[in-house]
Structure 1
């Protein structure tokens, strides 16, 4: 059992921290809104801290799941940041979907301070976090990863180190690139089936047994067909993730024409007022 801190109690962090506590780890939480940290502590029996530094003090592992690169730097660096409170030899595990650049930056800073840093973005959404079945993609030093993997498995069904610092974030980019194309394809398929006068449910139940099958098809076609999008991974978040993918592609020379196109389609959904809709709402722009 480990002494751990968890920074960031959003829709992902709140249940992830709960799973850590339920597995017997000693958990201290921090959230920008202290009342939310107090609420988590009262519900789960852990401790609430007023700053990242306070939360990180004396912990074996400090986890974080915040919004973006700047949010991550704000909880890690500075006088009240986690690094200022961590003991030498402790490990920082970042579950934020952020850039590979910030992962490498914070990895280097951690090394200077005698700390370890693992970039570990996740896939599986809010449902995966609630049910403790996330997929975790990691980058960092092998020995540091090996030490934290058993603790991460408190809320994961799969966890793997893909390489050095930044490799976890790069793998999450691959994940989002693939999802973007899949959701657009599924949206067009559902839209086409409707226009063709087919029984959408019967069509998808049939083709999902063949080569067209995907997680998106299995889990989203019914709500897409019904025009329900008030749940799941928001369009605003997806556009943030795709902007990271496209920026990295400009640096490494990758060509992402479909990703760039789908990103623009999501901008149309935002203009429709769907910024907080689930990413499967791509179908809505075809039917407007």
Structure 2
């Protein structure tokens, strides 16, 4: 069992930290809105702290799952940031989906203080976090990954070291690029089925076990056919992730024409007041176009 801190009590971080506490780890949490951290501590029996630095003091491993590049900088190196409270030889594990550039920047800042760093973005969404079934793709040194891996097992169904610092974030970008394309195709297919007068659920039952099948098809087709969007991974978050993908693609010379187009489709969904809708709401945009 480890003494750990967890920074960020959002829809992902709170259940992940809960699994750590349930697994017997000693957990101290921090959240920008202190009431959320206090509520988590009341529920799980851990501790909360008013700053990242105080949460990180004495921790063997500090985990973070915050919003974006700037949020990560703030909890790591900002005023009262975690790095100022972590001891030499401790480990910082970042579960936030951020740019590979800020990951390398924070890893360098950590290294200057004798702190190890692993970038470890996750896939599986809120349900995966709540059920302890996340897939975690990591970047960093093998020894550092080996330290984090048995602790992350509290909320992971699979973990893998993908390479050096930043490789985890790059792998997450691949994941998001794939999801964007899958959801656009699935949205077009489900609307096509409806317009053709087919039973959409029956169609999916037939095709989901074949070459067209995917997690998105199995887990999202019913809500898509019902026009229900108030669940799952938000469009606003997806656009944040796709912006990271598009910027990295430009940097490394990898064209992403379909991803760029679908990102604009998500912009249309935001204009429909769908920023908090699930990413499968691309179908709502198509339905509006179809009339």
Q: TM-score range with shorter-chain normalisation?
A: over 0.9
Alpha-carbon separation, structure 2, partners of 1:223 and 1:28: 37
Deviation of 1:73 after TM superposition, in Å, equals: 0.4
Alpha-carbon separation, structure 1, partners of 2:34 and 2:271: 33
Alpha-carbon separation, structure 1, partners of 2:34 and 2:285: 39
Instruction: Say if 2:137 is the partner of 1:137.
Output: yes
| Residue number in structure 2 paired with 1:212 | 212
| Residue number in structure 1 paired with 2:189 | 189
Deviation of 1:179 after TM superposition, in Å, equals: 0.2
Q: Give CA deviations for 1:232-260 in whole Å, capped at 9, x if unaligned.
A: 00000000000000000000000111101
| Residue number in structure 1 paired with 2:61 | 61
| Residue number in structure 1 paired with 2:170 | 170
SS of residue in 2 equivalent to 1:251: helix
Q: Which ranges of 4 or more aligned residues in structure 1 deviate by more than 3 Å? A: none
| Residue ranges of structure 1 left out of the alignment (5+ in a row) | none
Alpha-carbon separation, structure 2, partners of 1:46 and 1:287: 47
Instruction: Say if 2:250 is the partner of 1:262.
Output: no
Q: Give CA deviations for 1:137-174 in whole Å, capped at 9, x if unaligned.
A: 10011111111100011000001110000000000000
Deviation of 1:110 after TM superposition, in Å, equals: 1.0
Deviation of 1:79 after TM superposition, in Å, equals: 3.7
SS of residue in 2 equivalent to 1:162: strand
| Residue number in structure 2 paired with 1:4 | 4
Instruction: Say if 2:51 is the partner of 1:51.
Output: yes
| Residue number in structure 2 paired with 1:246 | 246
Instruction: Say if 2:278 is the partner of 1:275.
Output: no
SS of residue in 1 equivalent to 2:163: coil
| Residue number in structure 1 paired with 2:24 | 24
Q: Give CA deviations for 1:194-244 in whole Å, capped at 9, x if unaligned.
A: 111111111111011211000000000010000000000000000000000
Alpha-carbon separation, structure 2, partners of 1:225 and 1:79: 48
Deviation of 1:135 after TM superposition, in Å, equals: 0.4
Alpha-carbon separation, structure 2, partners of 1:72 and 1:112: 17
SS of residue in 2 equivalent to 1:157: strand
Alpha-carbon separation, structure 1, partners of 2:195 and 2:43: 49
Alpha-carbon separation, structure 2, partners of 1:220 and 1:81: 39
| Residue number in structure 2 paired with 1:102 | 102
- The CA RMSD measured in Å over matched residues stands at 0.6
| Residue number in structure 2 paired with 1:285 | 285
Instruction: Say if 2:36 is the partner of 1:13.
Output: no
Deviation of 1:81 after TM superposition, in Å, equals: 0.3
| Residue number in structure 1 paired with 2:112 | 112
Number of residue pairs aligned between Structure 1 and Structure 2: 288
TM-score computed with the length of structure 1 as normaliser: 0.99
Deviation of 1:59 after TM superposition, in Å, equals: 0.4
Q: Give CA deviations for 1:84-113 in whole Å, capped at 9, x if unaligned.
A: 000000000000000000110111111111
Q: Which moved more, 1:220-229 or 1:104-113?
A: 104-113
Q: Give CA deviations for 1:39-90 in whole Å, capped at 9, x if unaligned.
A: 1111111011000000000100000000000000000003400000000000
